[in-house]
């Protein structure tokens, strides 16, 4: 065989072998999936839909169960990033396809939890508005509508919002900025839509669609859903001023980048079964998730929506360019004092009651 013909034969032969790319993302024929129940968003129908597609394409079988005390029996567990952290952290060797996915989106991975969702907060309105601060929102009054629609009784949501409002600063006892922020939430509470304060996500969307609120709080992924109709959006407003310990005065707050949090994620027990993870990271699957599943699953960066960028508002593109630069986890002090925060916001407790009396006297 002539050298040129032999080279062509080799190229054609190897181009027909699928393992060059896909072998890193294959797994066993029986996939055992667990999920953690979430009181705010139900991811289960989405998981069944994509597992069905993946199983049909890969000729595998799968089983899905609610995780209780048996987390180690599952190959992969899906849930909110914060909830998955209760399980044992393990070292994970990732394949090239998954590593490239996170490298492309400038996300650092450690341990065996793989985030598939990065949320920052936006507010939507069905009316034309102008940008405003949280201080202005706390004083906003509309005689025909509630000022704000939000779920504040979902613990993760409230602690994330407070951390966001404080530009990622840790929540601390006897903190002037925390006291000021909770006072603004307390003012906002007076005209908050209390019918949905402990609603799930679907009820929050229904409230928005019914135009019950002038503003409604969502994660930014809502902006990509093809069925969401709004006239105005902005990042959830931060406070106009923050206390400076150095200067001893309130200074104008300057927020350069949105504060973000990992949401829907996968906990990997069996790194030999990463095929479904590769499936979920596929560009077309991600776009379908953003556009057709109203779950607020948000892109990790602007790189994930390059092919649909013509349909994205320019100010949302700016958010996507910056949202992976300031990623935070839930504040432990906030989680511990969540109930007290709610009582302060609703006027049932004063901020000074947050202060540990023993520490205060020292």
The answer to whether residue 348 scores a pLDDT higher than 70 is yes
Residue 10, class by beta-carbon neighbours within 10 Å (0-12 exposed, 13-18 middle, 19+ buried)?
exposed
| 242, 254 Cβ separation under 8 angstroms | no
The helix (H) or strand (E) run that includes residue 50 is: helix 44-58
Whether 121-259+329-356 and 23-117+262-312 are alike in CATH topology: the answer is yes
| pLDDT bucket at 22, cuts 50 / 70 / 90 | very low
User: How many angstroms from the chain centroid is the CA of residue 61?
Assistant: 29
According to the model, what pLDDT value does residue 1 have?
Answer: 52
Q: Which has more pLDDT, 30 or 232?
A: 232
CATH of 121-259+329-356, one of 3.40.50.720, 1.10.10.10, 1.20.1300.10, 3.40.190.10: 3.40.190.10
Closest CA to 47 of 265, 257, 211, 203: 265
pLDDT tens-place string over residues 282-339: 999 999 999 999 999 999 999 999 887 767 888 999 999 999 999 998 888 888 999 9
Nearest alpha carbon to residue 75 among 281, 264, 285, 266? 266
pLDDT of residue 249: 67
Per-residue pLDDT band at 257 (split at 50, 70, 90): confident
Q: State the chain's mean pLDDT as an integer.
A: 86
Does residue 227 surpass a pLDDT of 90? yes
Which CATH class name applies to 23-117+262-312? alpha beta
Percent pLDDT > 90 in the chain is 59
* pLDDT confidence of residue 331: 84
Q: What is the mean pLDDT of residues 86-114?
A: 92
Distance of CA 45 to the CA centre of its chain: 18
**Distance of alpha carbon 79 from the chain centroid:** 11
Long-range contacts formed by 90-97: CB under 8 A, 24+ apart: 90/268, 90/269, 92/268, 92/271, 93/271, 94/271, 94/274, 95/24, 95/25, 95/274, 95/278, 96/24, 97/21, 97/24, 97/25, 97/278, 97/281
* pLDDT tens-digit map of 258-274: 999 999 999 999 888 89
What long-range pairs does 12-16 form, CB within 8 A, spacing at least 24?
none
**Sequence-separated (6 or more) residues with CB below 8 Å from residue 46:** 289, 293, 295
111: left (phi over 0), alpha (psi -120 to 50) or beta: left
Are 346 and 340 spatial neighbours (Cβ–Cβ below 8 Å)? no
pLDDT tier at 11 (50, 70, 90 boundaries)?
very low
CA–CA dist 126, 211 (Å, integer): 7
- Whether 217 and 120 have beta carbons less than 8 Å apart is answered as no
Kindly list the domain boundaries of the chain, sorted by start residue. 23-117+262-312, 121-259+329-356
- pLDDT for 59 equals 86
Q: What is the pLDDT of residue 256?
A: 62
The beta strand positions in the chain, using DSSP E, are: 30-35, 61-66, 76-80, 113-115, 118-119, 121-125, 146-149, 213-219, 232-235, 241-244, 249-252, 261-262, 264-268
pLDDT digits (tens, 9 = 90+) for 137-175: 999 988 899 999 999 888 889 999 999 988 888 888 778
Q: In this predicted model, what pLDDT tens digit does every residue of 284-298 receive, in sequence order?
A: 999 999 999 999 999
**Could you read off the pLDDT of 186-204 as tens digits, one per residue?**
999 999 999 999 899 999 9
DSSP code of residue 16: T
Q: Whole-model pTM?
A: 0.87
Residue 67's pLDDT is what? 93
Residue 356 pLDDT: 58
Residue 8 has pLDDT above 50, yes or no: no
> Locate tokens 């859903």: which residue?
225
């Amino acid at each position: 065989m002539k050298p040129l013909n032999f080279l062509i034969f080799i190229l054609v032969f190897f181009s027909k072998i699928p393992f060059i790319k896909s072998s890193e993302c294959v797994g066993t024929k029986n996939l055992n999936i667990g999920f953690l129940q979430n009181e705010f968003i139900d991811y289960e129908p989405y998981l069944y839909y994509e597992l069905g597609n993946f199983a049909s394409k890969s000729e595998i079988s799968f089983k899905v169960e609610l995780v209780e005390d048996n987390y180690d029996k599952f190959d992969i567990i899906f849930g909110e990033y914060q909830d998955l952290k209760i399980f044992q952290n393990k070292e994970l060797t990732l394949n090239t396809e998954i590593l490239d996915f996170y490298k492309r989106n400038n996300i650092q991975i450690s341990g065996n939890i793989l985030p598939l969702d990065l949320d920052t907060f936006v507010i939507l309105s069905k009316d034309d508005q102008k940008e405003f601060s949280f201080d202005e929102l706390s004083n906003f009054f509309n005689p025909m509508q509630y000022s704000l629609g939000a779920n504040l009784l979902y613990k993760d949501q409230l602690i994330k919002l407070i951390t966001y409002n404080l530009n990622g600063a840790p929540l601390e006892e006897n903190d002037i900025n925390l006291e000021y922020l909770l006072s603004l939430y307390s003012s906002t509470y007076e005209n908050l839509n209390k019918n949905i304060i402990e609603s799930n996500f679907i009820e929050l969307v229904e409230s928005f669609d019914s135009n019950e609120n002038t503003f409604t709080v969502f994660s930014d992924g809502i902006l990509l859903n093809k069925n969401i109709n709004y006239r105005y959006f902005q990042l959830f407003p931060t406070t106009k001023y923050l206390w400076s310990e150095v200067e001893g005065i309130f200074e104008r707050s300057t927020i350069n980048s949105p504060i973000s949090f990992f949401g829907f994620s996968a906990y990997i027990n069996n790194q030999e079964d990463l095929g479904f993870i590769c499936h979920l990271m596929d560009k077309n699957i991600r776009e379908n998730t953003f556009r057709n599943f109203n779950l607020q699953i948000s892109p990790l960066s602007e790189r994930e929506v390059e092919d649909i960028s013509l349909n994205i508002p320019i100010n949302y593109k700016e958010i996507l360019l910056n949202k992976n630069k300031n990623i935070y986890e839930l504040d432990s002090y906030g989680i511990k004092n969540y109930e007290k925060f709610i009582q302060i916001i609703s006027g049932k407790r004063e901020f000074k009651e947050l202060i540990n009396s023993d520490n205060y006297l020292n």
